[in-house]
Structure 1
Amino acid sequence: MDSKGYTHDPPFDRGYLSVGAIHKLHYAQYGNRNGKPVIFLHGGPGGNTSFANTTYFNPDIYRVILYDQRGAGKSLPTACTEENTTHHLIEDIEALRKHLGISKWFMLFGGSWGATLALLYAQRYPERVGSMVLRGIFTARQPEINWTRMPDSGAARMWPAEYEKFLNFLPEEERRNPPESYCKYILNISTDEETKRKRYEAALE
């Protein structure tokens, strides 16, 4: 391992798993196919995984599973919020475990929203979890949402330029409550497809 982490070969397996009538989860497996199974839970909601996420794990020891949550990354359909709730996301982890023939996760590795998802999955399926690594913990409580998204928040004071960029995608009259305003575009209330796409991307930054 160097300062940039572990180096992995291309995935030894990748594919799509249908979950319900609408969604297909994109997943990829890296490292030791007979190793300790660890699943990487990305942030967001609406983030994605990438090959760089494998660098945390020794490929000689771990069987690394990366997957994109419903509506995110390479999963299909893109940015779809129908049949896409926290309950669905928890059950998707369990469906993926069964699909890959894993009796028990050695580790849930979650960051930000992924940490929340790891905790929720472990509460529902404690017998399927051996350990957890949680980083950049975000539990989606209202004070945390306020701190990261609302005007005059901690994030706005610490990173004013970045926060201004976040606000600039919204019309002036919609900036008093950015989470509520962005929600309209993420839920496809806007009829302007280009504006909807740009504001959806901005909300995820």
Structure 2
Amino acid sequence: MLKILIADDHQIVRRGLRMTIDAERDMRVVAEAADGADVPALVEKHKPDVVLLDLQMPAQNGVETLQQLRPDFPGLPVLILTSFGDDAHIYAALRAGASGFLLKEMGGDELVEAIRGAAKGRPQLHPDIARKLMARAPMPEDPFESLTGRERDILKLLGRGMSNKEIALELALTEMTVKGYVSDLLAKLGVSDRTQAALMAVRYGLVRAEEL
């Protein structure tokens, strides 16, 4: 059973998210927060598997909350909830360690599948948001020049949202070997997490945004 924490300053949004999540057999909402400042204490108390975090909240926004969470909870999947036109802080949230970005306008089926994917370590980038990030992210002309052929293969699969276990099965490698390759390619690309690497894979044509 996946435990989910919701942080959004609008009660009606939290209620809708809770109804969608609690209707699933494999997940439930364990805590809600109306402001980002309350999230770290709730994470410590309830140990959620995934956090849904609104990007814009009045007292402490999603970027500030992420920056506060990451030192103590580096591996916790945090999905940013945002509106289509709200792109001013999306790139900042990516750099702060967001595991993915979801549009508030997305359907319930998409939401729960994104939660399941994030819980498995898969980056979650809505195609529309991926295009926004691709347009903003400053990157070199050939960011993959230093990668080996095997690292490129793994980056393609990582960009398609596969977990280390799934990549290992696809390429007939051990999961530990894949983990080592992922760490190496993240270092070579100069990014801190799988979501940023997936974005690069999309921007430079290794995968299409729709495959995320």
- Same fold, TM exceeding 0.5? no
The structure in which a higher percent of residues are helix is 2
Scaled by the length of structure 2, what TM-score is found? Answer: 0.31
The structure in which a higher percent of residues are strand is 1
State the structure with more CA Rg.
1
